[in-house]
Structure formats: C-alpha cells, structure tokens
A and B are shown apart, each in its own frame.
Chain A
Amino acid sequence: MTVEVSIPTILRTYTKDAKTVPASGATLKELISDLEANYPGIADRLVDEAGLRRFVNVYLNDEDVRFLGGLDTELSDGDNVTILPAVAGGAGLVAGRAEPPADRLSDRH
C-alpha cells in the first residue's frame, strides 16, 4: 500500500524539507510506523499513548481521520494523507479557569 503523505512546514525538518513523501501501511497506524522508520522522531510529534495528538489533524483524501477510524483507518494504494497542525489558541487563562493543554506540536524532544 503506497500512499503519498503531505508534510506540514513544522515537520519538514524531519523530511529534509520534502513537502510530500511516499509511505506505506495498511492502516494509518502502520503508515506512521513506516514514517518513523524513515524519519526518526516524527511519530512522537503525531501520536501519544492515547492516539492522535489533540493538536494534529490527519486527513485521508478529503476526510478527517477522526471521523473515519482514527489510527485504525484503512488505506488503499494511491490514497493521499495530509498532516496539518491545528490552528488554535486564545487568551485561555482567565482567573479560575483550567490551564491550557501543555503539549504542542512544536515541542522539541
């Protein structure tokens, strides 16, 4: 199963500036393992123990994988996978409110 994966600017440090890379896998989970094998460190930016990170959007063709099968989403030859960091933020901290999520896509490990 060969799939074309579109990489966002912030993760191109892993792909030597490539905007798209080929990868393979029968599911999104396998695809991410394959990406990790070629671009070590990239998987940690996409997933944690709970699954896809909150601030990462992954699309299979034109659909958000959160509305498909998440990491178990099945892939077919010729599919396109697009990774985009969420564009989000906000004043957040207002007296008495909970802290915002601490993890982020731009974290260095």
Chain B
Amino acid sequence: MLEIDQALIDAMIAHARRDHPDEACGVIAGPAGSDRPERFIPMVNAARSPTFYEFDSMDLLKLYREMDSRDEDPVVVYHSHTATEAYPSRTDISYASEPNAHYLLVSTREPDTQEVRSFRIVDGVVTEEEVTIIPTLTQ
C-alpha cells in the first residue's frame, strides 16, 4: 500500500496536466527505509514525447547523488500516460529498475477526471496496490 499526502498527488497531477500531451515524469523522495514519500522532484522528460519518458542522464546522476547525500530513497517514481489508462505498459515494465519504489501512474486522457494508480514492478511482474491519500494539514 502507498500512503501519500494529498498535496503531493496534487503537485504530480498539476505537473502531468502542464506537460500534456507529452508524458511527465518525476520522483518523490523520502527518508531511506521509511517508505514515506515527502520531497516532490519533478524531472524533465528528455524524450519530450507523448508515448515515452526518460530522465536526462546528467539529471539522473545529479538526482541520485542528491538523494544519496540526503539519505533518501526514490520512494515514488511517477509518470503520466496521456492517451491511455494509468496502467504500466510493456515499456514501463521493461525499464522498471527500482524494486523498492512505488510506480505511480497518472492518466491525463480525460481533462476532468483524476486517474491515479500505484504499482510495484519487480522482475517484470506488476502488482497493483491501494493508494491511501492523507489530507494535507493546513495551519
């Protein structure tokens, strides 16, 4: 199960809508070993494509160095599908290489409908999991 703050879901959806019709991608990092997504990190889709995403190789190095120095894990790896459902494609499965991450997919195919689903992808096997959204506290 993935537990995640509403504000992070909102930020991810806003990023996906902004980059539509291209796919948007990013990471939500959290303290190592905590399984708690906290730090929203939108990434540039170097492929700038409606059917493919890829982190730029130098951005990727910078991101992992930064997470390492802050003792963080990539708790969530997110991306959007812009014309199809929020379910991992064969491409998503073939590239998935973070066995401990929650792969969060958002579909922007319907402008007025929110479609967010979460998956584990390990050794080519996809397992959907429940998403529990925690209302963001406002002071």
Residues on A facing B (Cβ under 8 Å): 8-10, 55, 57, 59, 62, 64, 66, 82, 84-94, 97, 99-108
Contact = CB atoms under 8 A, between A and B. Distances in A.
Contacts of A99: 90
B61 A91 contact: no
A73 to B, nearest CB: 14
Interface residues of B, number: 39
A16 B37 CA distance: 27
A97 B90 CA distance: 13
B25 interface: yes
A107 to B, nearest CB: 8
Per DSSP, are chain A's interface residues mostly helix, strand or loop, or mixed? loop
Contacts of B43: 87
A26 to B, nearest CB: 23
B84 interface: yes
Contact of B57 (A57, A97, A107): A57
Given A57-B61, A92-B89, A100-B90, A106 B97 contact: yes
Nearest to B82: A91
B36 interface: no
